[in-house]
Amino acid sequence: MKILFCKSRSPLSWLIRLITWSSWSHVALVNGDQAIEAEWNAVRLTTVAEIMSRHTAGVLVEFPCADPGATWAWALSQLGKPYDLKALFGFIMRRDWTDKGKWFCSELVAMGFQEGGSPLYRAEFVSHIDPGMLWMLPGGPPIAP
């Protein structure tokens, strides 16, 4: 299963990278040329090209996944769910303000892998995952988007 890591020059991207000490501010699950992302204001299905048109840099990384089909199917079931802005601010403030019916990007990706039988982190920490933490996991070599 592939994860797209990206960043832009926007103030929010800069702030996320500053707070998380990461090179990346956004992630999305990728299947072929399609991507599922949690972005302001909802989880949506889009393309890798569309995401890259909004960012200044990006890289695809292949991560081992026991059941990529289950990961993708679960992520598809989340389409239209709201963006979890409160949890994002809770993350920044080091508080758990997660709303189980809402998602921010790295939380959605981590839970997708968990639903696909390949948890990246223990379940109780999924809501505390940022793009930089996903980047530090052992994945395959980056693939140009």
The pLDDT-based confidence of 115 (bands split at 50, 70, 90) is very high
pLDDT at 144 > cutoff 90: no
Residue 30: other Cβ atoms inside 10 A:
24
Residue predicted with more confidence, 101 or 96: 101
Q: Which of 89, 119, 124 is nearest to 104 (CA)?
A: 89
Per-chain mean pLDDT for the chain: 89
pLDDT value at residue 94: 63
pLDDT at 59 > cutoff 90: yes
Name which of 3-12, 15-24, 65-74, 82-91 the model is least confident about: 82-91
CATH assignment at residue 98: 3.90.1720.10
The pLDDT-based confidence of 138 (bands split at 50, 70, 90) is confident
Give the chain's domain count: 1
Cα 7 to chain centroid distance, Å, stands at 12
Structure tokens at 47: 């393309």
pTM, two decimals, is: 0.90
Q: Which helix (H) or strand (E) holds 90?
A: helix 85-92
Q: Which domain holds residue 58?
A: 2-143
How far CA 118 is from CA of 1, 94, 109, 123, 130, in Å, comes to: 10, 26, 11, 11, 18
Could you tell me whether strands 2-7 and 57-62 are parallel, antiparallel, or unpaired per DSSP bridges? Answer: antiparallel
Q: Please count the CA atoms within 13 angstroms of the CA of 101 that sit on its side-chain side.
A: 0
Mean pLDDT of 20-48: 95
